[in-house]
């Protein structure tokens, strides 16, 4: 039976370090991501590693900074995650602005030039662009799930609060993931 290790990796958008008096931007040598990849997973590498993209803290970064964060984390994965580990990286899902609390509706991003869906589309484009080479030139079992494309058509039916989907959507998503990894013959 395959060994399954479940861990929660701090989202790459939250790549920060804390000092006694202030919070700084991420430095690869001190991040929680590096600790988890280099220390925690090194002694017993998982067979499957899934990293879900989210947008919780991504908005405080410019798209340029976001690209650097994705590149930094991808480099750490290349260095520290076992080549035998199947790696799945998902994009950020779509959001439904009309269902967000009033104070978040109509919010603009990237110095006032983008709404939420435009920012998510741009971030996911950067995300895939930064990872593209790894899909083409890598022997690691690798998969990219586009949650934006999967979630957009069903936002009106499945979205709860503008950000999160109904639990059944996540169940379907995991079912899709397992069907992709373990096809029934």
Task: Give the burial string for 122-143 (b: 16+ CB within 10 Å, else e).
Answer: bbbebbeebbeebeeeeebebe
DSSP secondary structure letters along 12-50: GGG-EEE-SS-EEE--GGG-HHHIIIIIITTSS--SEEE
Asked if pLDDT for residue 1 goes beyond 50, the answer is no
Instruction: Report H helices in the chain.
Output: 32-34, 63-80, 116-136, 147-151, 155-158, 167-181
Tens of pLDDT along 121-153? 999 898 888 877 777 776 677 788 889 999 999
Residue 28: its pLDDT value, please?
Answer: 44
pLDDT band at 22 (very low <50, low <70, confident <90, very high): very low
From the list 57, 43, 92, 88, the residue with the least C-alpha distance to 181 is 88
The pLDDT of residue 16 is 37
CA angle, corner 107, sides to 106 and 113, nearest 5? 105
pLDDT for the residue numbered 185: 62
Q: Which domains does the chain have, with CATH numbers?
A: 12-181 (3.40.50.1110)
pLDDT digits (tens, 9 = 90+) for 100-128: 999 888 888 888 899 888 999 999 898 88
Largest CA distance in the chain: 57
> Distance between CA 33 and CA 107 in Å, rounded?
29
Chain Cα centroid distance, residue 177: 15
Instruction: Calculate the average pLDDT of the chain.
Output: 78
Strand partners, 86: 48
| pLDDT band, residue 167 (cuts 50/70/90) | very high
């Amino acid at each position: 039976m395959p060994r399954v290790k479940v861990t929660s990796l701090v989202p790459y958008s939250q790549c920060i370090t804390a000092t006694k008096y202030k919070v700084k931007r991420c430095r690869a040598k001190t991040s929680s991501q590096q600790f988890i990849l280099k220390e925690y997973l090194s002694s017993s590498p998982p067979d499957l590693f899934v990293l879900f993209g989210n947008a919780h803290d991504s908005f405080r970064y410019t798209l340029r900074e976001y690209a650097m964060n994705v590149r930094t984390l991808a480099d750490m994965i290349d260095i520290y995650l076992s080549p035998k580990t199947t790696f799945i990286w998902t994009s950020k899902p779509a959001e439904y602005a009309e269902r967000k609390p009033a104070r978040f509706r109509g919010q603009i991003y990237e110095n006032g030039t983008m709404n939420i869906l435009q920012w998510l589309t741009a971030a996911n484009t950067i995300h895939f662009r930064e990872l593209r080479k790894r899909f083409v030139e890598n022997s690691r079992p690798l998969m990219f799930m586009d949650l934006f494309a999967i979630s957009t058509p069903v936002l009106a039916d499945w979205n709860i609060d503008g950000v999160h989907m109904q639990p059944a959507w996540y169940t379907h998503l995991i079912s899709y993931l397992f069907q992709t990894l373990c096809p029934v013959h």
